[in-house]
Structure 1
């Protein structure tokens, strides 16, 4: 059971708040370790890692940072150092979880420091900009946690103590309770949506588990895809089944529900075997409580709930989607198969479904056939993605790749 918490912040200006966090952790029986990421000032008490050690870990010095006369550049240098030092300290088993406190500057640094730590290492950020649209999804660690630093921009008070004490208790509880990922079985990463719209995982998950693999299904609504891509970039997966590429279209057409520009690229760059399909390719998710984007103002729409609405792409937009998917897959260096179920990609687009568009589906299939790169095996299926024929075809390919050694059990 771990209890060592690395507390990161600018101890020159926020010593009271950071000291309070350390005090709460120690009173709860935890160990508080401190890392100073100040630039101009000095803390009123020593920290376990000084600002000089931090910035030097990133290849710069405090004197250099001050000479630049640019707080943005200086904090970026400090962020590089904090990330490298935190990564090294974790490899050396110095701490069990990290707690970072800051405003926009400190949060910018926190995202770098948290992103270098593996999944399963508790990461909590106390920030004045928690949950803000300023925070790009691609910079968020897949298991990062945040709490709003309410009323705490300058000095301690009863309001901010409520947030700070919660954060201290939360990170301490997390490091004591966390069950780090078990790597005994090879892991398959799969993207999907709920069973009302996509159903293949219901059949595939037990079948793949029976073959000795563990299956993690990621909800492809922006942050789920971001977590999927982050782990794919680390080479965590033995194989990926990226069957719900809707986030590619979300990003292409400017939705705020995005997994970032590198969606559908990281497994390919790592050489991880990947199977790809078209689940919900024809829909663009937007924030449901915001006005409809102009380009989708007259499009058919499915209001999934008060948070999320899905707009149907036009034929021209489907052609763009096919080209974008193909362009991303073209850079893959590992074995790649693209499954094209030509009768549809979600439960709502069946012939009798509320979002059916047979002509648009035909346009998309033709565009995908033409744009599919030579490094990708196009597997066309005369079925719908939710039919048993789709999962049978996937399992046949999986078994063949397993027999050929394309997919490893190690």
Structure 2
């Protein structure tokens, strides 16, 4: 029978887990408590015992005897991922915990498809939750009080979380019935005109999914690529690479572009916003960058112009990734400028730095019948560049069919 898992450590959060399960049952949602703890849970036994979960770890139930708490949490998190992957009746997960419990539950949540309800009630939900949420649609709810017993606050918070999850599973959003293939496009504020024109041109034939290139945006898009959910990619805004290499705050990590290589999905890339590294408010810019060309995008975002030397590094990194792609690839070099503020008269206009970027990509990419670098003598937001991107997209889709 389809069921919701209420996940946590029964040795320390047993009362809260039972309360959450009862709240779900009261509104007609079948739920089972799964114990992820390594201690004595006899006072609040689970429906799915820790030994059942631990048996899915390569080392088996011996992980329950690990003395090191960090190693025990990591091992049980892996076991829980494998346990859930082996089930066919899970329709949602409600997790409860502190930092350890959050680290136990959320890796499994991240492995579930987008759309499967997942709520994590956590003591760390008011801080930086990016490491827990990643590219997934996990709903993080701050517990307000510690998850350390039931009280007038925790009952309300946990009850709200349970009822929210019940609403998700009892009233799923109807499928749109759209049979158009899906495309992934990456956008940054400074490449918005380009992406708007592309989606206008393609939306009649494709379901255009636009991802904000803020680190998790690129990760989210590539997660869908890895799930074979996208028919093609227009990766116009590859700016996350700048943050990876120069220490900015919007990196998508070393694995950026790996899903493109692993799947061979038809791919059109470009140098959108490769002129900038992202930091927070101006006073957060590292001291060794303070004398650089900086632009305050808003009170919370400061952009730093990349130099020619940095752009060579960026170009070499991108080229190495593209060389690993077996599928059809076109990578466009917008010679008129790579962002809204990289144009004549704008603060980041630097033809020398752009030329270093373009030359590094063109020199290091190993051209092939299905892999080409294309110079476009227009600005990234110009209609003529958009036309070139559409032509490149038609080419890679044709290559894929061929």
Does TM, normalized by the shorter one, top 0.5? yes
Change (3 A) 1:327 1:403: closer
Distance (Å, rounded) in 2 between the aligned partners of 1:179 and 1:309: 38
SS of the residue 2:353 aligns to: helix
C-alpha deviation, 1:8, in angstroms: 0.7
Change (3 A) 1:263 1:132: farther
TM-score when scaled to structure 1? Answer: 0.90
SS of the residue 2:86 aligns to: helix
Change (3 A) 1:204 1:163: same
1:42 aligns with 2:41: yes
Q: Please identify, of 244-253 and 287-296, the stretch whose mean Cα deviation from structure 2 is larger.
A: 287-296
What residue in structure 2 maps to residue 310 of structure 1?
A: 303
Q: 1:132-162 CA distances to partner (integer Å, 9 max, x unpaired)?
A: 447537x624211111222124212223333
Distance (Å, rounded) in 2 between the aligned partners of 1:134 and 1:122: 17
1:257 aligns with 2:256: no
C-alpha deviation, 1:197, in angstroms: 4.1
What residue in structure 2 maps to residue 216 of structure 1?
A: 209
Distance (Å, rounded) in 2 between the aligned partners of 1:144 and 1:134: 10
TM-score when scaled to structure 2? Answer: 0.91
Contact residue 15 and residue 44 of structure 2 kept, 8 A: no
**Match 2:237 to one of 234, 237, 244:** 244
Distance (Å, rounded) in 2 between the aligned partners of 1:359 and 1:403: 35
**Structure 1 runs, 4 residues or longer, greater than 4 Å off:** 180-183
What residue in structure 2 maps to residue 398 of structure 1?
A: 393
C-alpha deviation, 1:117, in angstroms: 0.7
SS of the residue 1:96 aligns to: strand
What residue in structure 2 maps to residue 5 of structure 1?
A: 4
Change (3 A) 1:118 1:127: same
Distance (Å, rounded) in 2 between the aligned partners of 1:146 and 1:172: 16
1:367 aligns with 2:360: yes
Alignment of 1:270-289 (within 5 A): 270-288=263-281
Distance (Å, rounded) in 2 between the aligned partners of 1:82 and 1:336: 38
Distance (Å, rounded) in 2 between the aligned partners of 1:71 and 1:23: 30
C-alpha deviation, 1:350, in angstroms: 0.8
Quote the RMSD (CA, aligned, Å): 2.4
What residue in structure 2 maps to residue 21 of structure 1?
A: 20
SS of the residue 2:333 aligns to: strand
Contact residue 111 and residue 141 of structure 1 kept, 8 A: no
Alignment of 1:325-404 (within 5 A): 325-374=318-367, 376-404=371-399
1:113 aligns with 2:108: yes
Distance (Å, rounded) in 1 between the aligned partners of 2:47 and 2:135: 25
SS of the residue 1:304 aligns to: strand
Q: 1:186-230 CA distances to partner (integer Å, 9 max, x unpaired)?
A: 211110023x543122221132222x3211000111221221122
Distance (Å, rounded) in 1 between the aligned partners of 2:401 and 2:117: 30
C-alpha deviation, 1:330, in angstroms: 2.1
Contact residue 235 and residue 267 of structure 1 kept, 8 A: no
C-alpha deviation, 1:180, in angstroms: 7.0
Contact residue 123 and residue 147 of structure 2 kept, 8 A: yes
Contact residue 216 and residue 252 of structure 2 kept, 8 A: yes
